[in-house]
Chains A and B, each alone.
Chain A
Amino acid sequence: MPTTVDARGLSCPQPVIMTLNEIKNGNDKEIVVLVDTDTSRENVTRAAQSQGCRIGEVTPEGEGYRIAITKG
């Protein structure tokens, strides 16, 4: 099971901070980030890519998105 970062309902820049914390400090190679706005989806994706991570599937979930990230 990948680690899930639930950033739904949090405003800028919290989703990015949480994602980067997990990328840097988490043990799992696979991370799933939940966000509820398109801005957060773009920001999280951009930040993860800047850390050399690979973005897997981005699927709509509920009011927002589920972003699968694989650490590079």
Chain B
Amino acid sequence: MQGRNIFATRWGIIGVGAVIGILAPLLQKLGNPGNMGICVACFERDIAGALGLHRAAVVQYMRPEIIGFVIGSLIAAYLFKEYRPRVGSAPIVRFVLGVFAMIGALVFLGCPWRAVLRLAGGDGNAILGVLGLTFGIWIGTLFLKNGYNLGRTQATHAAVGWMLPLIMVGFLALMLVFPQIKDQPSSGVLFYSVKGPGAMHAPLLLALVAGLAIGFLAQRSRFCTMGAIRDTVLFGQTHLLSGFVTLVGVAFVTNLVLGQFNAGFTGQPVAHTLHVWNFAGMALAGLAFALAGGCPGRQLFLAGEGDGDAAVFVMGMIVGAGIAHNFGLASSPQGVGPHGIAAVVIGMLACLFIGFTMRKKSA
């Protein structure tokens, strides 16, 4: 039995939100794309690109932050004896939710983390994204109130929980074996963007260390952007929300200090101004996150502490990014992709089907 976990207190979660609020804009200063110091969806999409799962040449880079998130969480979980290998709560449903969460996020151009970082950088379009996110999560809470759940997990072999962390170590190894070569679109088996957001990145070591630190802190504090909104709507509980709001406030101030704040709707980095689709994309993502029980960051941290189902959700997001770019579903600064709108509609229908058909039976 552990002593009191200070990170799980109100000040703990606020502190973690503040750290992320400083680190994210700093990572942007160090080279990450605009208002994208950290974006779990975008970075997993870049990883899909680095692996060649899609061939959108401007978004291919093996993001060390994501690797750090998982490994940092694994380290914290082992250090504090919280590593609990578990699996078996409808993994295929979690995979599908991951796919559609990614598609929704790429219609908006960001996950909840980036939505608020865009806000903190002055991007007004993010307001629609945050509203959409909240709407999607609200729909999710209606399902939760009516008994929606994906069933129980089972305890399993320790090594089952190592799978995603080991995959991440493998990704890092690939990056070291096939390092980026200046102005070359590939190195060995990996793709590297030479222009666009994929070409913008903080130095590998700094990105990895920042990712490890955030992964560690987020595992301890249970930081979750979706949970922040869900708990407020569902229980009126603002514990997680206080961390999320702190992130926005601190990132805003850090952006001001670093000269990265630029208010407006047009000409924002890696963003489009189609309000309806900013809202709808994030509504789809929010619903999928709510049904899967965690934001994309939280899924990485859960995977790090042994949750094999969260790992399946992560793989769903990476595959979803491949689909999103191969099928022309992802947006760009020019607007939504040719089939993005159809994908949002299909994704919503899929999530509603899951929400309506998967209830009770937990006893």
CB-CB under 8 A from A9, the residues of chain B are: 86, 89, 152-154
Q: Is the CB of B227 within 8 A of A10?
A: no
How far does the Cβ of B298 sit from chain A's closest Cβ, in whole Å? Answer: 8
Q: Is the CB of B293 within 8 A of A11?
A: yes
Q: Is the CB of A11 within 8 A of B231?
A: no
Q: Is the CB of B84 within 8 A of A10?
A: no
What are 5 contact pairs spanning A and B, CB under 8 A?
Answer: A8-B152, A10-B149, A14-B149, A38-B5, A43-B222
Interface stretch among B120-128, B177-185, B234-242, B247-255? Answer: B234-242
Please pick, from B8, B230, B362, the residue contacting A10 in the complex, using a CB distance under 8 A. Answer: B362
Does A1 make an interface contact (CB < 8 A)?
no
Nearest neighbor of A46 in chain B, beta-carbon distance: B239
CB-CB under 8 A from A20, the residues of chain B are: 235
CB-CB under 8 A from A60, the residues of chain B are: 1
Within A16-69, the residues touching B (CB, 8 Å) are: 16-17, 20, 36-39, 42-43, 46-47, 50, 60, 63
A9 to B155 alpha-carbon distance, docked (Å): 8
Does B58 make an interface contact (CB < 8 A)?
no
Interface residues on A, range: 20 to 34
CB-CB under 8 A from A16, the residues of chain B are: 235
How far does the Cβ of A8 sit from chain B's closest Cβ, in whole Å? Answer: 7
A63 to B85 alpha-carbon distance, docked (Å): 10
Does B168 make an interface contact (CB < 8 A)?
no
Q: Is the CB of A47 within 8 A of B149?
A: no
A8 to B174 alpha-carbon distance, docked (Å): 38
Does B352 make an interface contact (CB < 8 A)?
no
A8 to B150 alpha-carbon distance, docked (Å): 13
Nearest neighbor of A42 in chain B, beta-carbon distance: B8
Q: Is the CB of B89 within 8 A of A46?
A: no
How far does the Cβ of A24 sit from chain B's closest Cβ, in whole Å? Answer: 12
A5 to B104 alpha-carbon distance, docked (Å): 36
